[in-house]
Amino acid sequence: MVLLIDAKSVTLPECHVETLILVVLAVKPSTAALTNSVTTQMKLLSTVSGMVSSSASPAFAVFQFPVNACGTTVRVEGDYVVYDNRMSSTYEVGVGPLGSITRDSVYELDFQCRYFGSEVVSLVAEVNTVPPPLPVTAPGPLRVELRLASGQCGAKGEKGVQGCSDAEVYSDYYRDADYPVTKVLREPVYVEVRILERTDPHLVLLLEDCWATSTSSPLSLPQWSLLIDGCPYHDDRHQTTLVPVDGSSGLPFPTHYKRFIVQMFTFVDPASYVPLKEMVYIHCSTQVCYPSASDRCEQRCSGRRQRRSIVPVGKRSIEEKAVVTSKAVMVTTTEPSGQRLHSEVSPSLGFGLLGVAACVMLISTLALAVVCTKRSQLEPKV
C-alpha cells in the first residue's frame, strides 16, 4: 500500500484551550478519493483508542484527540506545560522464507502543544450565605480532684484543739512538693473530693466507694474500704467520719464537694500480720447527679450497718463517672514537729486519767501515814 500523504502540505497541530490537539494532513490530489484509507494508515504513540478522525474535505484527513490520550507525554519547561506525541504511518511487510520486505513508504510526524502554566482568569460565582448552626449545649468531660488538707488551723489553733471548725481545717492543702505526706498511726487524714471547672449550681457530687491501697493503682491489693455507697465502712472499728459541706463552708458551690476524715493506718502482712509500713493511697469512685423529680441526689447513712438510704434513683449518665486517686501518704513513728492537729481527746479518757492520778496520790498518802504511825509506836517513851 502506498502512503497517500503530501509531506509538503502538513498543517501544524492546533492546541485548543479545551486541551484538545488537532492535526490536519493533506492528501495527494491524485489520490484524494482515498482519504479514508489515509486515516487508517496513521497511528499515534499508543493505540488509536480515544482518537477522533474526520474528513473536512476530500483533500484533508483530520485527527483530533485530548492531550492526555493516545500516549501523549507531559513535562514541565519553566512556566510551560508541554505535551508531546508522534504520528507515524503503518506499512505492509511481506515475509518470505529467507527474508522480509515492504513496498510502502514510512511517514513520521513529531508534534507538541505548549500551554502556559498559570493564567489569571475571571470566575463569576454566586455565593449563597449559609445560616449559622444552632448552638449546642452539652456538658464536657467530668474532671474530679481528690486532695488532702493539712488540718492546720493557723493562728486560731491557739484556742485549743476544739477551736478549729471544719472550714478552718480545710483551709490549707498539701502541695505537690509536700508529698509523700507523713502521718503517725491514728492521726487524722483530711480528704476532700471536688468537681473542677463546673459552675452549674445544680450539680451534686456523689461518692460511691472509697478505699485505700498500698500503690497508686486503684485495682492493686491489698485494699481497705473507707466508704461503701457513700457511707462509712461498718466493719472498721475506727470508722471514716463524714464532714458535711453546706452553705456555711464559704464555698461558691458546696454541692460540688465531699469531705471525710480517715484515721491513719498501715497495711499488715496477710500471713504474719507484721506491719508493712508502706505508702497508702486513697481512691474514690465518683459520679455527678442532676436532681430531678425521681432523683433528689441525696445520700443518707442510717442504721447500725451504716448503709445508704436514698430516694429512688433515676437514670444517670455513665459519662458522668470518674475514679480519682490521692498522692502518697507515708506512715511514720514520730509526730511531725510544730504541727497542730484538729483532734480531741475524749472526755471520758481525760476523766479516767485524772481518776488514776488521784488514786495514786491517795495510796501514796495512806502508805506514808502508815509508815509514820509504825515509827511512832516503836520509839521509846521518855
- Determine the Cα–Cα distance for residues 270 and 214; give it in Å rounded to an integer: 13
Q: Is the pLDDT of residue 315 over 50?
A: no
Answer yes or no: are the C-beta atoms of 330 and 266 closer than 8 Å. no
Instruction: Return the ∠ at Cα 245 (arms to 257 and 343), rounded to 5°.
Output: 110
* Average pLDDT of the chain, as a whole number: 75
Please give the average per-residue pLDDT across 294-303, as a whole number: 79
| 75-79 CB contacts, 8 Å cutoff, 24+ apart | 76/117, 77/114, 78/117, 79/116, 79/117, 79/118
Q: Is the pLDDT of residue 344 over 50?
A: no
Q: How confident is the model at residue 347 (pLDDT cuts 50, 70, 90)?
A: very low
Q: How confident is the model at residue 155 (pLDDT cuts 50, 70, 90)?
A: very low
Per mean pLDDT, which range of 275-289, 303-317, 323-337 is the poorest? 303-317
**CATH 2.60.40.4100 domain extents, the chain:** 144-331
**Cα–Cα separations (whole angstroms), residue 349 to 188, 199, 345:** 18, 46, 7
Answer yes or no: are the C-beta atoms of 302 and 254 closer than 8 Å. no
User: What does the block give as the cell for 361?
Assistant: 496520790
Q: How confident is the model at residue 22 (pLDDT cuts 50, 70, 90)?
A: confident
- Determine the Cα–Cα distance for residues 191 and 291; give it in Å rounded to an integer: 25
- Determine the Cα–Cα distance for residues 143 and 172; give it in Å rounded to an integer: 21
CATH topology of domain 5-116: Immunoglobulin-like (2.60.40)
pLDDT tens by residue, 25-40: 776 665 544 445 555 6
Question: Which residue has cell 506512715?
Answer: 331
User: What does the block give as the cell for 35?
Assistant: 482519504
Mapping DSSP onto H, E and C, the string for 201-223 reads CCCEEEEEEEEEECCCCCCCCCE
**CATH 2.60.40.3210 domain extents, the chain:** 5-116
Please give the average per-residue pLDDT across 52-60, as a whole number: 59
Please give the average per-residue pLDDT across 8-34, as a whole number: 63
Please give the average per-residue pLDDT across 230-239, as a whole number: 92
- Rounded to two decimals, what is the model's pTM? 0.51
CATH number of 144-331: 2.60.40.4100
Q: Is the pLDDT of residue 145 over 90?
A: yes
Q: How confident is the model at residue 292 (pLDDT cuts 50, 70, 90)?
A: confident
